[in-house]
Structure 1
Amino acid sequence: MHVLPALLAEIPFWKNPDYLKRAAITLLILVTAFLLWRLLRRGRARLDDLLQSKRRTVPPLHIRGLQLLTGSQIVSALSLLSLTLFYGLALLNVIVALLLTFSQFPATERYVNLVLGWVLTPLHDLYYGFLASLPNLITILVIAILTRFILKAVSFLFTKADEGAINLSPWVHRDVALPTGQIVRAVIILIALFLIAPRIPGTGSEAAKGLSVVIGLMVSFGSSSTVGNVIAGIVLTYMRPFRVGDRVQIQGTTGDVMERTFLYTKLLTPKNEEVLIPSTKALDGNITNYSAQARSGNLILYTTVTIGYDTPWQTIHQLLIDAALKTEMVEPNPQPFVLQTALDDFYIHYQVNAFTAHAEAMPRIYSELHRNIQDAFNAAGMEIMSPHYTQLRDGNQSTVQGPLKPKATRFRVAMD
């Protein structure tokens, strides 16, 4: 019966009343941590119930008409975020409770200081590093704001120049106003980046410089063709060989210019085929612009027929001119004209030239012109000497089509 009081007398708890205070504080810490954990758990459950009840009523997320997330996906993302936040706060609650508990006992107090050092030292460094970088961050913010205002002013200026509200000639022509604006904007952004780069925290270290060099080399070797296309596109832009909507021929492809960028030119052929031509390819070859002269009605369409020597050239000239004038979208003034381009063994080459203002309708104009030439010569009883005939036939008989064609007669070929 006297053993228990003796044992209790040996326990430091009873010798030092401060242990009772420490035990009470420890118990209070554990109870508080438990209550906080229950509060977090209940709060998360209520939040999850609220999100699930709103799953069908949350509207989808749209940006400029493009749906990025449905309402169900938004609710799922918020639910995942709440779960992550719950586990993070619960873990923080446990860590704080353990640190406060261990700090109550001298035997474990040094471990608490060690762990706090691991956590607080990086936070201390980040805090003072942020304070040291604050002037540079403010400078970066000012440069970014000024750059944004300048870019908006440049965009407004060159957009108005493209619309014709502002005249920047002779420095910048209207048809190259938008590409020039893009170049100016790119230069302004590069200048801003050069001003910002030295002020970014960490860019002064040797590792960051080495990484910048490696990235620069990778971009240089990996995009040499792209850079070449951009340079060729800039040259083409200021050469002004065509506009959007012009009928052109580039690298043997004929079509209307749908889009022109620094990297490529997009053509729509008469067969509704979209063709992308890289800027380097366009710069290396010939570019034929049919619309440049068609806008003033001076585009010349021409075709050649071959007629025998027995027909007066005055008659042929008149027939070809009449056929051209009957063709729709051929300009009567200036009047079509005929050139005799070659004197061959059996026939003469007559080239009829007609003016038009409709470059986009070239295939249809040519087709109608050829039909009218055929009708005119058939009506006049004249034979177009092409294509060549390889079969035997009576040379005295004509191949004229229509009611004026003479009646065919037989002929005999004598063989020795």
Structure 2
Amino acid sequence: MQKQELQYIHSFAEYVDRFIKLLIDYSPKMISALVILFLGLYAIRVINRLVKKIMLKRELDPTLSKFLADSLLWALRVLLFISVISKLGIETSSFVAILGAAGLAIGLSLQGSLSNFAGGMLIILFKPFRVGDTIEAQGVIGTVLEIQIFVTKLITGNNQTIFIPNGILSNNVIINYSMQGNRRADLIFSLSYDTNIKVAKDIVMQVMQNHPKVLKNPAPTVVVRDLTDSAIHLSIKPWAKNIDFSEMSSDILEQCKEAFDSAGIVIQPFVREASKG
């Protein structure tokens, strides 16, 4: 009985010696891993706060700011986790391969959504337009109501709501009518060849100069745009603030028509707005 007890004691002592030896051998790695962990967590907090301040200063969309901050936070945590377990001597190649394969699968399955997400970030970062701007894109004209992560929401003049995917929007032509503050109308009157051009131009200039919403600077202009087989095309170019543009354009057309009628100037049977330029 005593012999068996001595064997148990001897075996336990061997296990304790091995544990102490392993602990002594492993403690530098453990201490290094703990140092990396605590320093890494502190650095992640500092970086996260700094990124949030930068995004707040750039006035990024709050939804996008939170998403980007959270994504960066978890990405840094994953990198820290890999660094810690690598310092402990655990093989990380398989773990990294699994993460890479999962990321590739997710990326392929969400390819369209990721394209729209990237487009939304580009729009918010580089600001080709803002909420409230009137833009033309993808064959529609509307006022920007909201820039979401995946789509941009527009409302048209006839109160229709249109959603345009950000991936398509960011990779195609966008005309922003609000960015410069002022906008020029390009209106054309088609007049009879019996018209005295100087008189017609004077009438148009008087109409534009008397209109309260036509800007003095830049000054309005009127020029002969073309001489066709059947008519003189008179190009009228008044400027207005964006908010007054539609009303001003309509008023100028109406008042010029009335002034031409009073002066006996014959208008050919079409009035149109020229291509924007």
TM-score when scaled to structure 1? 0.48
* Structure 2 partner of 1:338: 222
Give how far 1:314 is off: 1.1
How many pairs does the alignment contain? 240
The Cα offsets for residues 325-362 of structure 1, whole Å up to 9 and x where unpaired, read as 344522133331112111111111111001112x2443
Aligned mate of 2:75, from 190, 193, 205: 190
Distance in 2, Cα, partners of 1:354 & 1:237: 33
Once the two structures are superposed, the pairs formed by residues 222-237 of structure 1 within 5 Å of their partners are 222-237=109-124
The one-letter code of the counterpart of 2:262 is A
Which structure has greater strand proportion?
2
Gaps of 5+ in 1: 1-132, 163-174, 389-416
Change (3 A) 1:282 1:328: farther
User: What percentage of aligned pairs have identical amino acids?
Assistant: 22
Give how far 1:385 is off: 0.2
Gaps of 5+ in 2: 1-29, 272-277
Which has the higher Rg, Structure 1 or Structure 2? 1
- Structure 2 residue 202 is matched with structure 1 residue 318: yes
Once the two structures are superposed, the pairs formed by residues 257-406 of structure 1 within 5 Å of their partners are 257-294=144-181, 298-357=182-241, 359-387=242-270
The Cα offsets for residues 76-129 of structure 1, whole Å up to 9 and x where unpaired, read as xxxxxxxxxxxxxxxxxxxxxxxxxxxxxxxxxxxxxxxxxxxxxxxxxxxxxx
Distance in 1, Cα, partners of 2:148 & 2:83: 32
Change (3 A) 1:365 1:252: farther
Distance in 2, Cα, partners of 1:229 & 1:134: 45
Secondary structure in 2 matching 1:291: coil
The one-letter code of the counterpart of 2:110 is S
Once the two structures are superposed, the pairs formed by residues 4-403 of structure 1 within 5 Å of their partners are 143-144=40-41, 146-160=43-57, 162=59, 186-187=71-72, 189-197=74-82, 199=84, 212-237=99-124, 239-294=126-181, 298-357=182-241, 359-387=242-270
Secondary structure in 2 matching 1:215: helix
The Cα offsets for residues 180-216 of structure 1, whole Å up to 9 and x where unpaired, read as 8975774454233222246579x96898667545532
Distance in 2, Cα, partners of 1:159 & 1:303: 43
Q: Is the 8 A contact 2:189 2:270 kept in 1?
A: no
Secondary structure in 2 matching 1:387: strand
The Cα offsets for residues 357-405 of structure 1, whole Å up to 9 and x where unpaired, read as 2x244333322222222222222222210239xxxxxxxxxxxxxxxxx
The Cα RMSD (Å) is 3.8
TM-score when scaled to structure 2? 0.69
Secondary structure in 2 matching 1:339: strand
